[in-house]
Structure 1
Amino acid sequence: MHTKEDRTSEGTALDGEFTRRSLGIMLAQTRASAVALTLAGPLYGLVIVPRTGWLPWLVWYVTLVASLLLRQRYFMHLVARDGYTGQTLHRVSLWAGVTGLLTAACVPLFVHWLTLTEVAIMTVLTLGQLLVAVIGVKPRMYAVYMAGSLSMVYVGWLVHGTGIHKLVIGLAMVLGGTMMQRAVHTYWKTLRDNAEMGASKAQLVDQLRAALERQHDIQLARSRFLGAASHDLRQPVQALMFLTDIFKRTSDMARREAIAPQIVRTGESIDTMFRHLVDFAQIEAGTLRANLQPVHLGRLIQAIVAGFAEKCAAKGLRFRVDMRSDGAVMADPVLLERVLRNFLDNAAKYSLVGEIVLTVQQSGEDLEISVEDQGVGMDEEDLALVWNSFHRGRSAALAEAEGIGLGLAICRHMADMMGARLGLSSRPGQGTRVTICLPRPAEPVCVARLDDNLRELNLQGRLIAVIEDDGATRRALTSWLQDAGAAVVAGAGLSETQEALLASGRRLDCILADYRLSEGDGVTAIAALRQQHGAVPALILSAEPDLQERGLGLPCLQKPVAPEALMAHLRQLFPDPGRSLESPDRGETSVAV
């Protein structure tokens, strides 16, 4: 469906094409008519000179030729100054008509010296001129020009003709003029239809060219995407291969303890790159969506920074959170978490020494979250390109930071989806400060009270079912949960998990399931277990890129899942004994955490 703006644009394009064609025709034919009238002047002289002598005819002829020469120069000046515009077309047609009337003007000028036969000859010459008049591209102007020319010629018939001559010639002029006017209108309509077809074809060509250019850009971006992903992912993978080989071959515990943090950091780097590639692919495919809702910053930030201080300490950096203000903002909790994790990852990546500070403060009626570091910083040239995809500035080389240049570009897109404002300031050698500003909810919200004890996850006495068809992932997740004190029953599918639960003879507390299973899907498996064990909490863990858009009715985490992210979700499910999350009061809005 065409919008009003589209129709206006199409109409403008059509008018422009019609004007260009009309003016092109008029300019070409006025040059030809100037030559023809100049050569036709002596023919008029053959009729006029024998009656009036040379001087009257010569004055008329010189005036005609001079006007023709001057009008052509004037037309060239108009086009050079104003271009092919409607105003130019109007002026050209006006002066073409005025100068054209000079040929018909010879009849009333010399009418007293002419005979009826010579008036008839002048009438035929004038009609011939009208039939090929170039101002037919302007029907109204042509009507005025034709009426003026025929009126001047009719003066000769009024002076020399009889009553029947005057009547017949008058009627012939009216009928003939009407027919010529209709012919001119048909010519004008045909010209406009041709212009419309030309404009439509030009528009289709432009659309095709734009589509081809977009496709070419997409192909270039895809090639660049694959090239960057292939090259940049190989670097940390190569490092990981060497580190794991050293870890495997050495028996020196001190050396193993030194290598283990490097392996962890390299794995985190691969995870970050992988997440960026998945986010970028979703953005390019248009499948990423924002689900705006009240989000409590304190709780979200608590989950995000879990373990980040240890990560900074391993690099010799300090980290702190400065909560100058607190409360809820309108955002998508998943997208906001990704944005803030990108901010923190970049701060750690580009800092060699110093401190990283995450600050939450009031900014007008909104809340501003900033991450400030004392890292290598950026110069003005890099700042201008920092939000572009695949851009990696000189600071990346200075900090020896791994990456593919997608983090801030993804943050910009996600912030736009949430209606948030991003800001970034940096100075070489002094650090970088990046901010995101989010609006508060229009209605008051009620949030659960935070407690420092929630930082420790204790799953002692809890029975958790793990449904995961990938054996390595199932075993790793089972071990991680058991380290947190949980009892775990695990299976590759629903039937295997049901058998393990039956054998345990215990009450089920939680379900963790992959979405895509060899036997159906995780949502169906969760529903089946809930029918048997009641409405137990459940969480989907999957590598599917668009789970949030599918409306599964279950909380989802996208693989690879950071342990601290899973820990944060389990804390919400299993608060400390004796404590429970408060329900929101009537009339207040619940808040996502």
Structure 2
Amino acid sequence: MAAVRAAGPQAPREEVHQRLLELLAEQSRRVPVGVGVLMVVVAWMASRVMPPWIPAVWLLAALAILMVRREWLGKLPRQTELPTPVRVRTAIRLSLLNGTTHGLSLAAFPLLPDIERPFFTLLLLGLSTGAVGTTAGHRKIYLAYALPAAGTLPIWWAIHPNSPIGWYGLALALLIVLYLWVLYGLAHNAWHNFTDSVNMRFLDRERAAQLTEALAQANQANQAKTRFLAAASHDLRQPLHTIGLLVAALSLRPIEGRDREVVDLLSQVTVALSEQLDQLLDISKLDAGVVAPDKKMVDLAEMLRMHHAEMRAAIEEKGLRAVIDVQGSVRCWTDPALVLRVLRNLTENAIKFTPQGHVALRMRVEGGDACISVEDTGRGIPPAEQAMVFEEFYQVDNPERDRSKGLGLGLSIVKRLCGLLGVTLQLHSTEGQGTRVTMRLPLDTFGAAATVVPEPAHNWSFAGVTVLVIDDERSVRMGMRVLLEELGCRFVEACSVEEATREAIATKPDVILADMRLRNGETGITAISSVTSAVGATPALLISGDTAPDRLQEANRAGIKLLHKPVALPMLQAELARMLGDKVQP
């Protein structure tokens, strides 16, 4: 126990005494019945050798004190307005009063028959023994009871021997003294055990508080990270969106030769940067809890063959062999889009870190699960780093932060998506030989399989469509104007809720494209609501560079679809066609 006391902080003295008072209050509710019965026995024995009224008065006094003690001890733990030492002193006085009353019964000792004196002695010593536990061995409280209750027993035995043999009474007196000394030692140990238990509970509570605080700090740090990512993503997306709009507008023009190469290169750079920002967006979406799996019955074999066909060109372009090992038709109840996203991240990661050999996609059925593996013959991952590769921004052997190697978010997104899908993820890697990442999906053999088919390309005409663009960034509005006019749209712009409502009343737009966050605390949601209230229901789309989780949740609650800047031209065309319906010609 001493080691426990030295291992951590000690409970304050006030807390130890508060726990003691609570123990005394609890024991005071249990003790009166048993002690009361013993007092009745003592009074009955005394009434046989002295006038009965004397034991009767003593019994009434003992029982009254027992009940008063019970009432007072029951209140002491709750009387926190009183200083703790004052409440402890009250408990000591009550213990002294109780012990003195019990000790007064010894007045009948000289009058008892020889055979009843040992029984009488055992009763008082038994009460003193029980007091070790009921007082937790607190020295002053225990002695306040034991000394007046049984402390004079050795004297009574010494001066009133129980037999003609003189040493018999003296021997019993000595044995009682030794027994009381043993009881005092037991009380001393009981008090140390009690304080140790309080200290252990105090230490546990302190550690729990520290863990709670550490968890709160970790949550705050995670929220701060998410806010930073969202802010950085927003600030980068705004100019990138403008660049993307202008590049898309240029790509629609009939230019050739060197100019076309420049436009294509600008488009590739914009797409690459957009993909990296999309990874930040994915993290924010998962943190916000707005990604909900859309599960359906999927033919995994067909989906994997489609994924292999999509990634084959990228694998072979690096000089690697593209291997697929998929047998038969295996059905599973899952979200095909999210599973494909996981497979795409794993495959792209395998291609990136495999200089030669192959990248293989395999599937087998094992124990009621479909085991889908992405395997490569790359450099592998050192054992010490295998547990860290699924953490955000962690990359093996990229201290210089080479942007061509990505941001280190791909596997972190994989881990979160697998958690969302209830999919088990396993990593096996040997340094210098390669890596295999396996997904285990529970199988379901019932239902029709849903074929995953890529979206076909369309060429829509938006001639004559009036589009109201609400954005507080002038450069974004200019870029949207150039692109939409290239598409044949009539362009109307606004930078605030009031201006958007006024322009909508004047032009009656066919569709609204609004930024999520405007100036002066206004939002695109508010602007869309104001416009629809003024001119009636109008198809609307939010376009934002803000990836903060609360913004994502806000758009989700409003029921308005949200695209994130920069928006690729095919996606913008597809969304316009979806909202306009019969007003556009494919």
TM-score by length of 2: 0.49
Greater RCO (Cα-Cα under 8 Å, separation 6 or more): 2
TM-score by length of 1: 0.49
